[in-house]
Amino acid sequence: MNHNHEEGHDCGMHHDHKEMNHKECCHHDHDQKMEQCDMHMDESAHKHDEKGSCCHHDGAEMHGHDHMHHDMNHEHMDHSMHMNHGGMDMGHDMSHMNHGGMDHCGMDMGHDMGHMHHMGNLKLKFWISLILTIPIIVMSPMMGMKMPFQVTFPGSDFVVLILGTILFIYGGYPFFTSCIGEVKSKKPGMMSLITMGISVAYVYSVYAVIANDILKATPMVNDFFWELSTLIVIMLLGHWIEMNSVMSAGSAVNKLAALLPDNAHLVSEDGNVTDVSVNELSENQTILIKSGEKIPADGTIIDGTTSVNESLITGESRDVNKQVDDQVIGGSINGSGTIKVKITGTGESGYLSKVMKMVSDAQASKSQAEDLANKVAGYLFYAALIVAVIAFVAWSIIHNVAYAIPITVSVLIIACPHALGLAIPLIISRLTAIAATHGLLIRNKTSLEGIKKVKYALMDKTGTLTQGDFKVNAFDSLDNDVEKNDVLQIAATLEANSSHPLAEGIIKAFDELNMEKLSAENIDEISGAGIKGEINGNKYAVVSSAYLTKNNIAFDTTQTDQYLTQGNSLSYVINNDNVIGFIAEGDSIKPGAKDMIEYLNSQNITPVMLTGDNQKAAEKVASLLGITEVNAELVPEDKQALVSKYQETGSVMFIGDGVNDAPSLTKADLGIAIGSGTDVAIDSADVVLVNSNPADVIDLIKLAKQARTKMIQNLWWGAGYNIIALPLAAGLLSSIGIIIGPMLGAVIMSLSTVIVAINAMTLRIK
């Protein structure tokens, strides 16, 4: 069954909204085979693939489509996407993209993980390094302390040297390469600190073997192979835990490119139609788009009428009626009509290209965020270096260089405690495990670390705060000779074969009455107005107010006005040009949405609605939820611009689920995607609400705040003791007999590692 709608207008539909103009539109078939959106969530996530079942009737989710692109020249986007957005080749498969620090698997792991894309297979590196470490531990003392299990034999020092060298090169390689990146960016952090620690330990240990076993020096020089091997293994373990704890992510830009089909029907000048690759299309060519096909390029309709499902692009649940001279967007889905489109351009001017560029630019910008551990490691790197240099110079002057070197080495090695490598990963592992049990998938832990700074929560409406589908809120008779239930029965009979969401709502409401179904004859569509047919010899129709106005059919609106002001869409049932009843339907607020808004307000986080819907419909939903700031009739670039605007005065959280939300999700300090949303939105977000329940944001904020507190505590246990340990290791109080030697340093390291592990396990939602 075909229904019609055009954004911002009544569209002549048989479903009406008070604020709409009266404009005749073409038909649409809402059943647009939404399976093209290839969700990677579970089957339930498909319920409403792109903002749910897209209502496209009067008053239902109108998002300013005309404002979005009727004033724009949408040129065709080359399907090969060989645009250079921030130095990235946007090839169609996009399999090798590296968005500002993401590894080649597309994982966004925060700043430190951004530098870890050279690590390769962390799991394999860890296990091989562990195998090499075991004999080193058995044959090498821990900071000079001989352990009960230690085994030595003639030449064992050289065996340790060989194993230590292999481990240093193989296990340490990823830290070296990442350290180079940190140094080049002039931001030494965790990788630099680890590299400094293992390099000093290795070089000094090689010197110790030469001095002890070749030069026979006395007293013997302590080596640090034990510290070298355990440090490498623990750091690899920490990063493996962290990477394994977050969801592997695809590329949001990759998903955007996939919205376009591979081929197009090219119409030659003589009228012949040939299938060609989309990347062969060029400006001013004509293409044929059949019913149900994806539109391969931006362009202008030159022949035919149809309706276009643009929810993949706009995010709002509605179809848009199209006729000659109307524009279409590449990536949207054609309805029941066959149309010919003249391509208006190629390359970066296409709508999807612009969204892709916004997403990739935001990714590149956001990847510069530095996490807590990396900041602490950076401070510790400089502190250790400064203290070590001062200690070396001072003790060289007081005693000699030979006396100063062991002290300097101790300072540099103690500065890189093993606990620091596990302090954050253990929290992340615990965080993601707890989050998963509460329907939360954590994709970027760095964004969560700034949760206490969030001042604004910007959010989409349809599919985020509302269900995105429609149900009958009221129906009644306007004729004394017609029973109330008869109105619904007549409408359901005429709409029996329709897949439109409003029609489905009518049918569902009728089924709940358990009434006998009638049979209808001569069912036919009223072009741009509704549907008509004969039931028991009587002529009935289900139409919109536009039809009533056009045909001068008057009725008493006293009873219907209240439902219009509540934001409902109205369908009118008529018999021989007499209005005998009406049906009011509305999109419902999601369970949990109001709880989320109330919690945000209690946390001094200002909720702000950003939607493509019309202002009055948006304000109605906002008033029901307690949202005071509303921005309506927006397009993706508007949303992203507002995110940037709010970021000028505070950190921003963004909650959304459509392709049009992807740039905003990426740009925001914390992006939260609804699980039933699009692949593109999900891949742009830092957190995914698997159950699509807005109330889960409450658990997310509580958990994130607790996790951040635990992170800070662990960083103090893992690195904070250096405030005391470094000066003492440097010999600041040696004159009164107080000094932290290697053995005491080893004990402190072990204790801090145990403490951070226990502290991580106490994380829970409070």
By annotation, the residues acting in catalysis are: 460
Radius of gyration of the chain (CA): 33
Cβ-contact 33, 560 below 8 angstroms: no
CB 81 within 8 A of CB 71: no
Contact call for residues 465 and 459 (beta carbons, < 8 A): yes
Cis amide prior to 219 (ω within 30 degrees): yes
Q: For residue 500, give both structure tokens.
A: 């439109």
CB 51 within 8 A of CB 315: yes
Calculate the alpha carbon distances from 443 to 101, 186, 347, 363 in Å: 14, 27, 31, 14
**Alpha-carbon distances of 640 from 21, 597, 652, rounded to whole Å:** 29, 21, 11
| DSSP helix/strand/coil, 560 | helix
Question: 548 and 572 in contact (C-beta within 8 Å)?
Answer: yes
Contact 524, 574 (CB under 8 A): no
Tell me the CA distances in angstroms from 75 to 207, 283, 295, 348, one per residue in order.
Answer: 67, 7, 13, 8
Residues 614/62, Cβ–Cβ less than 8 Å:
yes
How many angstroms separate the Cα of 563 from the Cα of each of 55, 313, 423, 475, 586? 17, 30, 57, 10, 9
The whole-angstrom separation of Cα 394 and Cα 402 is 12
Round to whole Å and give the CA distance between 273 and 280: 14
Is 671 within 8 Å of 454 (Cβ atoms)?
no
Query: Do 483 and 573 contact (CB within 8 A), yes or no?
Result: no
Contact 230, 133 (CB under 8 A): yes
CA proximity to 329, closest of 303, 299, 358: 299
CA separation (Å) from 58 to 21, 246, 413? 10, 43, 70
Cα(341)–Cα(296) distance, integer angstroms:
10
- For the chain, what is the total number of helices (H) and then of strands (E)? 25, 25
Tell me which residue has tokens 């939903």.
621
